[in-house]
A = this chain, B = another copy of it.
């Protein structure tokens, strides 16, 4: 390809709406243009990168016995009503009517469609396992689409669905996908972690998110500094902290005038924060009051709490609800709440000795509270957020908290959809059973954005070789200089012949403009043909990633380029 023909309109200005580097750089470097909020056109450079990612995805899906199909984007409402999700998805689903008034949605996911497809065709255990996938646009009506391709409303996903005869089969399919995902993101050159995650609205009992580490990521993850443990902080198990043993002193009520916050209480009592107990009160969708107690320096993990009390939605409790349960806001205590109030105490709190906590009286706290002795019958659960330096639940080393971008997720669905849609098969004994399902997604367009978040500098993108729109940009310094152009054309022909994906920047622009664009677009290698190349047989090869510059001769440069590319 020749840059003079390439449609890659670059911008010198950073568009104001773009907040993070991937969004800014994709606009500036001519990769995408916005058509509506969260809806983009992919220009030729972006499309080349996306097609390279897709190719890697396809190869690994095929290699893991996946078969490619294409399901409709426009899905009839009937199937979604059958599974019970038509209303669950709510405003996040784009809905429309056809001219006859029939309801459709734009697929945010395809469990219903695929379950319907196989329920009419898969009849015997002999047809299992079955793994079907597609690469396609997906639709979610995000309240606030943002960060460019990171949280769009129309985006490209690969989704695979597995069908097995039993849980063991599902384990095998799950492992296959887990391994394939590891290969895919490695091949794309990303720094990522498979992290344990909460299964959320899609349901299922076991799930991992593949998370590209990036400081602008929307996911917070806990990562072990020693072993390969990683978990979404929503999910990450918080190991129980055991304080030094000490003798239990008698419970004692003490005045703490105006000390309504933990900080005020410990200052007033002159105690370390690790000896304080913090109270938080929630109400759920059924208006149940849930009083939660965590250590003063810990935070409540609402997802864990939600799962512990089997709630769907949590909100901060109304003051009246707390008062009605015998609690005093700001001084709430597990001791003295009305019987029947739901009290959840974090596991670490239960191990505390001689701690301070509220006393359910205005301006009063207890000291020397010993939860096991004093709290009575309460629900004890891990309901706190993991923190930096907490112990890794796998190896005990300390964990770090970092951010990342969810680029893939693998899910064990079990029989949730196959039971709802009655997708059954006959097992070895002729018994009818529901298919055991898994689903596995990769955000293809988001993977492109994640790569940019990981690989860029102040001058532009730095593409990993495998997903670069072109591997090499070939820049004649002066396109009006015949000798330079002649040599550049020879090299262009030779590199193409060698199977190298090369762009010839034959534009009649100043060298500065061409070099700036090369850095901005982020081709892994730049080969420069200037006077030195023509007169001294010194062909300049520059590595975008580290700025390393090498000179080679016309006889040697191809080999050099090939070995440089292999390292990138």
Chain A residues in contact with chain B, CB under 8 A?
Answer: 5-7, 9, 33, 35-36, 39-44, 47, 50-51, 65, 67-76, 91, 94-96, 98-99, 102, 104, 106, 113, 116-117, 120-121, 130, 132, 137, 139, 141, 143, 153-154
Instruction: Give the docked Cα–Cα distance between A254 and B41 (Å).
Output: 70
Q: Which residues of B contact A5 (CB under 8 A)?
A: 65, 67
> Do A75 and B43 touch across chains, with their CB atoms under 8 A apart?
no
> Do A36 and B6 touch across chains, with their CB atoms under 8 A apart?
no
Instruction: Give the docked Cα–Cα distance between A130 and B9 (Å).
Output: 12
Instruction: Give the docked Cα–Cα distance between A7 and B99 (Å).
Output: 34
Chain B: CB-nearest residue to A130? B7
User: Quick one: which of B39, B50, B117 contacts A41, CB cutoff 8 A?
Assistant: B117
> Do B42 and A69 touch across chains, with their CB atoms under 8 A apart?
yes
Chain B: CB-nearest residue to A7? B67
Instruction: Give the docked Cα–Cα distance between A98 and B140 (Å).
Output: 10
> Do B98 and A70 touch across chains, with their CB atoms under 8 A apart?
no
Starting from the known contacts A39-B74, A41-B69, 11 additional A-B residue pairs (CB-CB under 8 Å) come to A35-B76, A36-B72, A36-B75, A40-B72, A42-B70, A44-B69, A47-B69, A94-B96, A95-B96, A96-B96, A98-B141
Known: A74-B106, A154-B74. A141 touches B69 (CB 8 A): no
A426 to chain B, nearest CB (A): 15
Instruction: Give the docked Cα–Cα distance between A35 and B117 (Å).
Output: 8
Q: Which residues of B contact A91 (CB under 8 A)?
A: 99
A560 to chain B, nearest CB (A): 29
Interface of A is mostly: mixed
Known: A42-B69, A69-B43. A74 touches B33 (CB 8 A): no
Chain B: CB-nearest residue to A95? B96
> Do B43 and A74 touch across chains, with their CB atoms under 8 A apart?
no
Most buried by B among A6, A35, A102, A154: A35
Work out how many copies of this chain go into the complex: 2
> Do B42 and A76 touch across chains, with their CB atoms under 8 A apart?
no
Chain B: CB-nearest residue to A65? B5
Known: A96-B94, A98-B94, A132-B7. A71 touches B41 (CB 8 A): yes
Chain B: CB-nearest residue to A507? B126
Instruction: Give the docked Cα–Cα distance between A139 and B94 (Å).
Output: 15
Instruction: Give the docked Cα–Cα distance between A96 and B95 (Å).
Output: 7
20 pairs, A vs B, C-beta closer than 8 Å: A5-B65, A5-B67, A7-B67, A7-B130, A33-B120, A35-B72, A35-B116, A36-B72, A36-B75, A36-B102, A39-B72, A41-B71, A42-B70, A47-B68, A47-B70, A73-B137, A73-B154, A74-B106, A74-B139, A74-B154
Instruction: Give the docked Cα–Cα distance between A75 and B139 (Å).
Output: 13
Instruction: Give the docked Cα–Cα distance between A256 and B453 (Å).
Output: 87
Q: Which residues of B contact A65 (CB under 8 A)?
A: 5
Instruction: Give the docked Cα–Cα distance between A65 and B7 (Å).
Output: 11
Instruction: Give the docked Cα–Cα distance between A418 and B76 (Å).
Output: 37
Instruction: Give the docked Cα–Cα distance between A71 and B40 (Å).
Output: 7
Instruction: Give the docked Cα–Cα distance between A473 and B354 (Å).
Output: 78
A225 to chain B, nearest CB (A): 41
Chain B: CB-nearest residue to A33? B117
Report the 10 A-B pairs with minimum CB-CB distance, sorted nearest first: A96-B96, A9-B121, A36-B76, A42-B70, A91-B99, A44-B67, A39-B72, A35-B72, A41-B71, A99-B141
Chain B: CB-nearest residue to A10? B121
A41 to chain B, nearest CB (A): 5
> Do B44 and A68 touch across chains, with their CB atoms under 8 A apart?
yes
A105 to chain B, nearest CB (A): 9
Chain B: CB-nearest residue to A68? B47
Q: Which residues of B contact A141 (CB under 8 A)?
A: 98-99
A74 to chain B, nearest CB (A): 5
Q: Which residues of B contact A70 (CB under 8 A)?
A: 41-42, 47, 50
A358 to chain B, nearest CB (A): 41
Chain B: CB-nearest residue to A110? B41
Instruction: Give the docked Cα–Cα distance between A5 and B47 (Å).
Output: 32
Q: Which residues of B contact A106 (CB under 8 A)?
A: 74, 96, 106
A556 to chain B, nearest CB (A): 31
> Do B113 and A35 touch across chains, with their CB atoms under 8 A apart?
yes
Most buried by B among A70, A113, A121: A70
Chain B: CB-nearest residue to A156? B70
A440 to chain B, nearest CB (A): 17
Q: Which residues of B contact A9 (CB under 8 A)?
A: 121
Q: Which residues of B contact A76 (CB under 8 A)?
A: 35-36, 39
Most buried by B among A6, A42, A95: A42
Most buried by B among A5, A76, A99: A99
Instruction: Give the docked Cα–Cα distance between A321 and B31 (Å).
Output: 59
> Do A73 and B73 touch across chains, with their CB atoms under 8 A apart?
yes
A454 to chain B, nearest CB (A): 23
